Structure 1
């Protein structure tokens, strides 16, 4: 915010202020009744501006002009100033030493917050002792348009300042999308993802994505396709499934839809690879190895059983005919009986007689 004030000795009936900027041109503001000031929105002043005031007092028009210049020696201000927001919560700013700045120059960065309070950089990055950058971990309180001021000090010469008004939305570098997934059917592969986390909520129309799809054969990639997809398409892309079963990878990065400041690429996600065929080969190898291991194991167990049987033979036991389930053959073959009876012509007969005697009388 730039405020222009003047002394009011008489009541004004009309007033108008103007700021002539080298880049933005003419900016006009009306003066309120009996008000002796004008307020302009933030703009860079390091290149110098011209301010004018025109008022009407008692039907007389009075005008004044003020030329605002950047004090200090020409070429001593910080150069190549830039800032970038990353990971939604951090910001790095950098600049270079002025080409005409003395050796003892020291620069300081101030950022104007929402409550119009300027705060100094809490952590500087140095080059040979000179501040050439700043790291901010707390972005709370910063408005959409924030004012940055880099001034300097030196014992040898006056140092000019550098200031800039940055739209934080344009300097934010977005992270890659989250939760990238690929689902394929017979004809297409559907690539889906989620919006990355940003410093402030962004609609789908404010984001765009770039897809890098590569087709791989063996150990080399054949070609790469770069496709830009806008967020309003639903954070998805339908990729025609290739005829071959070659492995494919996809990487995605994010940028603002109006200013393509691309962030980092995501990790590659594979799809359409020859996983079914390779898995069958693995299954065959596992089955063959399992069969060999089982065969060797059974062979070792069988050999061990034979050795144990030789060392400890079974103990004979009495056969139990009552509990034995085997059938007893009670039939006698006639041929066997007749053959045994005809071995000799003589037949011996043994007769046993029993004689009973009466007891003797005494």
Structure 2
């Protein structure tokens, strides 16, 4: 029985290639074919994938720009043809790079609320006037969806931003960028599960209980079950030179930190989806730093008020003691003389009438005395 021959490959739907072969086998009943393949940039045994078909071809969603090593052989399906020789027909497909759209590093991130961002790098040797467009097709589906919102670098599209997609995150999808300058150019495609490139929104409401040092946070409402999340908390000691950082892995939405109460810290949190729920390669962005100031070593307001009161009372008592001891009060607070004691006739005879009192007591000396000059002899 002759093995398959003439293995070849041809484009199919977006991101799809048809691997076909010829066969001289005259028996068709109870005969099938095994197709094994891997990319040229992977050489491990685990990188091989296998498909079994009854016909002479198989449609595969491929990142064909990576090149393909394919091999096909006959399989028997019952005891009468179980002794078919294990003959493989092998073929290496190593297409030239200029056969595809002249971009590299096509990557996509999928967010809550079914939004995605995809970016790519344009090669230096790209043709003048070339434009790039992103499209995607879900595996085993015919419908092709085009990006609705591009980001440009000059005149060329270099990203698809904020596109609303309608894909189940666990389904495989072919995302391709086509080049408009050459209709024969094949699209540059990536095959991915959106769940593996899912990025959570940044955690919010990061708070700390200063009595227990327990930090809590929340995630914005998303489409993933809360049990699918893991977190990292970054604790930075800002009081030390170099800002020493400590990162811990967590499974819940709270954590009790260990800190020196006399030092300043900042706390940030990020999250991602765990392996059990189609683990993503992307962490969310770090939350805004929560600044934790050192605990105050000063006195409380109540304590300060009590101390001020005590000091005031002590000062007053001390002043009273000094005044009493040195009789300062009696010296400072002399009584005002009573004029009645000095001028009895003014008040007793004249009722305080100063003019009457003056008239009653004329000056004894009315004659003006001559002034006799005198000389003083210096000693």
Assess same fold via TM > 0.5: yes
The 1:127/1:43 distance shift into structure 2, 3 A limit, reads same
Partner of 1:13: 30
The separation in 2 between residues aligned to 1:51 and 1:134, in whole angstroms, is 33
Residues 1:90 and 2:115 are matched in the alignment? yes
Q: Secondary structure at the match of 2:213?
A: strand
The separation in 2 between residues aligned to 1:277 and 1:85, in whole angstroms, is 50
- Is the CA contact 2:261–2:295 (under 8 Å) kept in the aligned structure 1? no
- Is the CA contact 2:196–2:281 (under 8 Å) kept in the aligned structure 1? no
Residues 1:250 and 2:267 are matched in the alignment? yes
Tell me by how many angstroms 1:115 deviates: 6.2
Q: 1:48 aligns with which of 44, 67, 75?
A: 67
- Is the CA contact 1:51–1:67 (under 8 Å) kept in the aligned structure 2? yes
Q: How does 1:25-44 map to 2 (within 5 A)?
A: 25-32=47-54, 35-40=55-60, 42-44=61-63
The separation in 1 between residues aligned to 2:299 and 2:146, in whole angstroms, is 60
RMSD: 4.0
The 1:202/1:45 distance shift into structure 2, 3 A limit, reads farther
After TM superposition, the score normalised by the length of structure 2 is 0.58
Per-residue CA distance 1:170-213 (angstroms, 9 max, x = gap): 3233222233221133xx41112234544433535x52213234
The separation in 1 between residues aligned to 2:299 and 2:238, in whole angstroms, is 18
Tell me by how many angstroms 1:150 deviates: 1.4
The 1:141/1:105 distance shift into structure 2, 3 A limit, reads same
Tell me by how many angstroms 1:5 deviates: 5.1
| Number of residue pairs aligned between Structure 1 and Structure 2 | 273
The separation in 2 between residues aligned to 1:278 and 1:223, in whole angstroms, is 29
Tell me by how many angstroms 1:27 deviates: 2.1
Tell me by how many angstroms 1:119 deviates: 1.0
Residues 1:229 and 2:255 are matched in the alignment? no
Tell me by how many angstroms 1:93 deviates: 1.0
The 1:152/1:72 distance shift into structure 2, 3 A limit, reads farther
Partner of 1:124: 150
- Is the CA contact 2:150–2:161 (under 8 Å) kept in the aligned structure 1? yes
The separation in 2 between residues aligned to 1:104 and 1:26, in whole angstroms, is 39
The separation in 1 between residues aligned to 2:63 and 2:201, in whole angstroms, is 30
- Is the CA contact 2:201–2:219 (under 8 Å) kept in the aligned structure 1? no
The separation in 2 between residues aligned to 1:141 and 1:81, in whole angstroms, is 19
Tell me by how many angstroms 1:239 deviates: 1.9
- Unaligned runs of at least 5 residues, structure 1: 288-362
Structure number, greater radius of gyration? 1
- Is the CA contact 1:18–1:26 (under 8 Å) kept in the aligned structure 2? yes
Q: Secondary structure at the match of 1:240?
A: coil
After TM superposition, the score normalised by the length of structure 1 is 0.60
Q: Secondary structure at the match of 1:208?
A: strand
